[in-house]
Amino acid sequence: WKKLYLAHHWPVTVCKMSANDCQDPPEYWTIHGLWPDKTEECNRTWHFNVTEIKDLMSDMRHYWPDVLHSSLNRTQFWKHEWEKHGTCAATLQVLNSQRKYFGKALELYKHVDLNSCLLKAGIKPSSSYYQMTAIKEALTRFYGVMPKIQCLPPEEGEKAQTIGQIEFCFTKELQLRNCTALKGESEPVPADLKLGTEELSVCSDTLPTYYPSQVQ
C-alpha cells in the first residue's frame, strides 16, 4: 500500500444512515478508522485483543466510539477495524502492534484536530446549507492538503447532500499529503461505507451541503 487514510465520520450522519440503536450521537467528529489503501485483512490469524489497549480505553471510547451501538463496553467495531485494516498497517514499524496502531490513530486524530479547525473556519452544524467548495477551501487552507470528503447523496425530494465523512491522507512517514492520486499512482477502488441501504460517496461540488446538528 502507498498511503493511509485517517477517516473521521460525523456521528449524526452515520445515525441518519442506519436505523440502528444510535442514542445521542456525539456532536463532534469521531474516528472511523486508519486505513492503508488497497489492502484488507492482511493477517487473519492476528486476532484483536482488547487488553492490549487497556490504557487507551477512555480515549478510545471518547474519540473512536461505536456510533451505531452505543453501549460502552462494546469492542466489536475496534475488532473489525484491527482485523480489516490494522493487520495491513502493521507492515510499518510505528504501527506494528495493536497498541501502536490504535495509539497512533488517536495521536493523528488529535494532531489533525478537525473539530476545532472547522469551528475556526465558521463551519458548524446548522440547519442552513453550505457550499462544498467553501468547506474544501477552508480545509485546504488549514492543512495545506486536500482531504477526501464523502456525503450521503440527497434522498428523494431532498436537494442537499449530507456531509458524512472526512478522510485525511498520510504518507508512510505519517506526513499529511493530498488524497488525490499522485502521478503514476492508481486511485484505489473506493471502499464505500455501506450502512443499512444507504452509502456515502464522494461529495458533489455543486449540491448544497447539509451539516446536521441532530438526528432528524
Q: Which residues are catalytic?
A: 32, 81, 85
CB 25 within 8 A of CB 15: yes
What is the residue whose three cell numbers read 485483512? Answer: 41
CB atoms within 10 A of CB 190: 12
C-alpha 100: how far from its chain's center? 18
Question: What are the phi and psi torsion angles at 50 (to 5°)?
Answer: -65, -25
